[in-house]
Amino acid sequence: MTTSLCSITSFAHTDDLNQATLSLDNNERYQLIVTVDFIHLLQEHLDISGDDNNVLLALNQQSFFEQKKLLENLETVLSQQSSLFFSNKTNNIEQQQNMTFQGLQLQQLKRILAQPEKLTDYKVELHATGDIPENSGEVAVSFAPLLGNIVLKVVRPEQTLISSGELSQSFQINQSNAWHSNSVNIPNNISLTMDYIYQGFVHILPRGLDHILFVLALLLFARKRSSLIWQISAFTLAHTITLALGIYGFVTISSTIVEPLIALSIVYVGLENIYRANQRTNSQARLPIIFAFGLLHGLGFASVLSEVGLPASQYLTSLISFNVGVELGQLTVIALAFICLYPFRKKVWYQTKLVFALNIAIALIATYWLIERLI
């Protein structure tokens, strides 16, 4: 079915329209990304009158736990009130499938609340992925009324306006086209791999400040290159294990437990660095605790990857690619830190003042996160 852009031009306030992109992946998976204004969405959900300042004030009065529950509740409401309608091309049976939206990150909300005047907008992306039913011929979309009017772009690309709370037109799902040929799938697979490597990398740089501080603490503790390699290897092996177990559903622990424990792990390594600063300790004796902390961080990575979603046809490839991106991010952190610290390594005050001060800063920042995530 062909859609037209002509219907959009009659609306006066197109700047107020939210944007959505529906991708239909090889007739196996769909991915829906909706770009919305974070603060306006919360304003509608909480039914707060006035401007953005009123919303920011109300949010600042909530505790960490209340803000987290608010975002979880909002994601639930949006998921329950948004649906995809698939029609079976052989027997004309229509199947409704509720979407499961994710993407409302507490860290992003915290950044907005901390420095609202430095942000030009409060855009956030909601993600929903799922399986396309077998023999589906068409798909239509209905969004939660909270999301308002939406301009939907389909992969061909096509786009149409969906009025608030209304059902969209139907779109053809092409079951037999040239995209299934191996000559096209090869570049598609390469593109998919690069996408997930990128997702893993940006989760470390610049988004994963807690993981950055943990890796920096390992670097500051290591007096020799070999000890750093052992520690990073133990951390990498551990988080790779729980990343895979978490994604495949073998291990599921609530983020309300994992996030404070990740902060606690950073506090520990920062304080241990200070305590053992003047001791000649075998660094390999520290490996079991680093391995244990790596298991925690892996669960954090799994949570992020679950929100991004994995295509069924390239599940293992995407998982490995994401982990490669994480490792590249960690190595980049180590390389940048080494370059910055190298000119001072021969100074007599390097260990007693600079490294000591950095460990103090790491421990204090992580302590703040720990308290914030427990409240």
Strands 150-154 and 18-25: parallel
**294, pLDDT greater than 80:** yes
Using pLDDT thresholds of 50, 70 and 90, give the confidence band for residue 362: very high
**30, pLDDT greater than 90:** no
**274, pLDDT greater than 70:** yes
For the four alpha carbons of 171, 172, 173 and 177, in that order, the dihedral sign comes to negative
**264, pLDDT greater than 70:** yes
Across 57-86, average pLDDT = 88
Can you give the length of the chain in residues?
A: 375
Listed ranges 13-17, 259-263, 349-353; the one with the highest mean pLDDT: 259-263
What is the number of alpha carbons within 13 Å of residue 268 lying toward its C-beta? 11
The amino acid sitting at 289 is I
**314, pLDDT greater than 70:** no
Query: How many percent of the chain have pLDDT more than 70?
Result: 80
Long-range contacts of 40-48 (CB under 8 A, 24+ apart): 40/122, 41/74, 41/124, 41/146, 41/147, 42/70, 42/74, 44/146, 44/148, 45/70, 45/74, 45/77, 45/146, 46/70
Across 158-173, average pLDDT = 63
pLDDT of res. 182: 44
Query: What does the pLDDT look like over 109-137, one tens digit per residue?
Result: 887 887 766 655 678 888 888 888 887 87
pLDDT of res. 160: 57
Query: How many percent of the chain have pLDDT more than 90?
Result: 7
- DSSP code for 2: -
Separation CA 110–CA 273 (nearest Å): 29
pLDDT of res. 9: 31
pLDDT of res. 373: 83
Using pLDDT thresholds of 50, 70 and 90, give the confidence band for residue 173: low
For the four alpha carbons of 85, 88, 94 and 95, in that order, the dihedral sign comes to negative
pLDDT of res. 123: 82
Element (H, E) at 173: none
**2, pLDDT greater than 50:** no
Using pLDDT thresholds of 50, 70 and 90, give the confidence band for residue 365: very high
Q: Are 313 and 260 in contact (CB under 8 A)?
A: no
Across 358-362, average pLDDT = 92
Q: Are 360 and 216 in contact (CB under 8 A)?
A: no
**281, pLDDT greater than 60:** no
Across 15-32, average pLDDT = 76
Contacts of 327 (CB under 8 A, 6+ apart): 200, 236
pLDDT of res. 367: 92
pLDDT of res. 15: 43
Q: What does the mean pLDDT of the chain come to?
A: 78
Separation CA 293–CA 288 (nearest Å): 9
